[in-house]
Amino acid sequence: MTIITSIKATEVIVPAKPGSLNSDTVLDKDTEFAKKFMTGESWTSFADQPKWIIEITLANGLTGIGETYRSASKTLIFEAMQEFTGKDVLKLNWRRLPVNDQRIYEAFESAVLDLIGKLLHVPVYQILGGGYREWIDCMGWTGRRTPEDAARKAFDAMQKGHKVFKFKCSDEDPVRLWTDEIRKKCGDGIKILLDPNQRWNDVETTLGLMEGVDKDIMLGLEDPILHADVAGFKYLKEHLNMPIYRHISLPYTQDIRDMIAFVRADAADGYNFNGSAYNCVLLAEIAHLEGKPCWRGSEVDLGISETMGLHIAAASINCTIPSDIFGELVRTDDLIEKPIKFLNGAAQVPQGDGLGISLDLAAIEKYTTNQTLKTTL
């Protein structure tokens, strides 16, 4: 009864809400950056890139669901579907599933763990070792903004109870003016995290851009410079007088060992982790042994991936920094029947069996590109 008898993959495109990304007057023309992060012609096109919704069904009729990262390979998805079909879900190695590509791994992992949770009648976080918390603090989030827009977005997030607001930025952005305007509008009500995605490139540029920034309003900087510059991260950590965070994103780096150099050099104050569930819990344990906190990262995803992120955050002992679970602020739909519950800037971890959510089939129908894949036993 626990044999996988069929798998279905449905391609969807769920666009961003109007005004949820950059200010209208802030144009992102960095095509190399867009190419690196698979966002389309520009960074603000990321929500227009397709995702695939995975449904794995057992002989007993139970179905588990998952969601790929954007721009996942149709060919690799179908190969993985063929690999899983006919397997006994209880006899798989849940920590090392037979999927090599990290852009699709989590979708199959999510569906498998959703099934295991339903079979055992426990939430997914219990399968990951158990939960440390039932509510996950989450950041507010947006793209590049004018100073006035930055203050408005931070204020709106503060009104909803968020403790931290995260901005994407490049070396063209007047971040000091951002923080000045946010301080005027929000006072001490919210902290700011700036995430250039390595686009500040080097220590000298970072120091110049941060000159005059109100340090008291800052939660810190995430990935200001190139990841390979471990010594640069360490220098900023020791001289900038604010926390420096490193994003370990397995769907991009595809190598969990990227963290080791930072641990050895004591080059970061904490970490942002996204990737497969067991690997992220492992990374969190490593950071905990180092005495550093972490948070759950994302690619501004839909409801399935964000719910999986909540279970991972719940099972990560040191996930105490607000997490990147904010798709509902950006996407026009989450594709799940009951949206993630937010209260005072925190998201509730579902307590039902498996992921504790179900697909909104009407929304899937609305946003599908009419590309589907199917395998049957």
**CATH code at 16?**
3.30.390.10
The reply to whether 312 and 269 lie within a common domain is yes
Same domain, 153 and 277: yes
Quick check: is 149 in a domain?
yes
Residues 6 or more apart whose CB falls under 8 angstroms from that of 314 comprise 125, 131, 132, 133, 134, 136, 349
What is the CATH classification number for the domain harbouring 305?
A: 3.20.20.120
State the total domains in the chain: 2
What's the pLDDT at 28? Answer: 84
**Does 28 map to a domain?**
yes
Mark whether 265 and 322 lie in a shared domain.
Answer: yes
- Residues 62 and 124 occupy one common structural domain: yes
Q: Tell me whether strands 164-168 and 140-142 are parallel, antiparallel or unpaired.
A: parallel
- Name the 3-class secondary structure at 370: strand
Averaged confidence pLDDT in the chain: 95
How large is the average pLDDT for residues 44-50? 89
Tokens of 144: 């590049």
Residues 294 and 170 in one domain: yes
31/140 same-domain check: no
Q: Is 120 found in the same domain as 54?
A: yes
Which range of residues forms the domain containing residue 290?
A: 135-348
Q: What is the pLDDT of residue 328?
A: 82
Instruction: Provide the strand spans (E) within the chain.
Output: 4-12, 51-58, 63-67, 135-137, 140-142, 164-168, 191-195, 218-222, 244-249, 270-274, 294-296, 342-343, 346-348, 368-376
Does residue 353 sit within a domain? no
Domain-embedded: residue 98: yes
Give yes or no: residues 118 and 139 share one domain: no
Residue 111 reports pLDDT greater than 80: yes
Instruction: Identify whether residues 12 and 119 lie together within a single domain.
Output: yes
Q: Can you give the pLDDT at residue 329?
A: 85
Instruction: Strand 51-58: give its sheet, edge to edge.
Output: 63-67, 51-58, 4-12, 368-376
pLDDT tens per residue, range 302-331: 999 999 999 999 999 999 999 999 888 899
188 pLDDT tier (thresholds 50, 70, 90): very high
- 275, 318: one domain: yes
The answer to whether residue 277 sits within a structural domain is yes
If asked whether residues 366 and 321 sit together in one domain, one would say no
Same-domain pairing of 99 and 235: no
Token look-up 């000298």 returns: 204
DSSP state of 15: P
Is pLDDT above 90 for 45? no
Residue 6's DSSP bridge partners are 57, 376
Sign of the dihedral defined by the CA atoms of residues 72, 74, 76, 82, in that order: positive
Express as a percent the part of the chain with pLDDT over 90.
Answer: 89
- Whole-model pTM? 0.96
